[in-house]
Amino acid sequence: MNKDERHTLILDKLQVNQKVLVIDLAKVLDVTPETIRRDLAELEMNEQLSRIHGGAVPFIPNHKEMVFEKKMSLHIDEKKKIAKCAATLIQDGDTIAVDVGSTTVHIADMIDNVQGLTVVTNSLSAASRFNLAIEEKRITGQVIMLPGVTNPYQASVKGTYTVEFLRRFNFNSAFISCGGVTKNAVYDFDMDESLVSEAMIQYSQEAILLTDSWKLNKKSLFEICPISNIAKIICDKEKPQDWYENRYEWLTVDPLYHINR
């Protein structure tokens, strides 16, 4: 039984019983409990159920964002491929903004042979990884960590100081993540972090959105910007058919896109 078939069976059982348990599903589907937990995490991210201790119940809307480390474990291959594509858009001498996200954080892992790069970020994880890229001599340049109040659940910095400091910059590109995106707008879960992303877009010559296909046609609590403010979207699936009137460039990552790092 493949993943899609498991998901269908899990949702069918949930509709009938209003609750499913990891241990029961593992026995019925003849897979490990770890596999079931990954299935439930993916279904929860797609708002098809809500996890509880030891299992899951029907989806309960709460507009809460996953803890960063939990998000990092989902759709990791797609995120790395998207980030590798994004890294190829960065040129020598660029000044870029990188916001908080479980996809944008991988740009630093994929970047190579770029000289004189300045990275400005509110992501503690991204700052650490870009520093590693400098140490490994894959890039030269500097990393500027934005000031503000830390959010330990998202490994980020946010707040009034963060947005105010961004006004000092003129970025070549802003690499933006999201909690959801529709044909009209880009969304995020956290108000303060969405304001940081909005400012990065405002002070950039070009805004580049990185999103896996699970976020398409999904809304979260706060709007970052209208879709018209985005110049490029990088995704693991083709643009939805009803989005074609929009004028941004859509870059689809090939499923066989090879990852060197």
Query: For residues 216 and 82, what is the distance between their CA atoms, to the nearest angstrom?
Result: 14
* pLDDT tens digits in sequence order for the chain, 261 residues long: 899 999 999 999 998 998 999 999 999 999 999 999 999 989 988 888 888 778 888 886 644 545 444 455 566 888 999 999 999 999 999 999 999 998 999 999 999 999 999 999 999 999 999 999 999 999 999 999 999 999 888 789 999 999 999 999 999 999 999 989 999 999 998 889 999 999 999 999 999 999 999 899 988 878 999 999 999 999 999 999 889 877 899 999 976 654 443
C-alpha 114/C-alpha 116 separation (Å) is 7
Give residue-wise pLDDT tens across range 225-252: 999 999 999 999 999 988 987 789 999 9
pLDDT given at position 153 = 80
Distances (CA, A) of 161 to 42, 104, 197, 199, 225: 35, 22, 14, 12, 20
The pLDDT value recorded for residue 261 is: 37
**pLDDT reported for residue 260:** 42
From residue 2, alpha-carbon distances to 27, 30, 256 in Å are 15, 12, 19
What the block records as the tokens of 10 is 């899990």
**pLDDT tens digit sequence for 151-187:** 888 789 999 999 999 999 999 999 999 989 999 999 9
pLDDT of residue 256: 60
Residue range(s) of every CATH 1.10.10.10 domain in the chain: 3-58
Fold of 3-58: Arc Repressor Mutant, subunit A (1.10.10)
Torsional sign, CA 155, 181, 173, 76: positive
| Predicted structure pTM score | 0.73
pLDDT at 46: 84
The fold adopted by the segment(s) 71-252 is Rossmann fold (3.40.50)
Q: Taking a C-beta distance cutoff of 8 angstroms, is the pair 13, 55 a contact?
A: no
CATH 3.40.50.1360 residue spans of the chain: 71-252
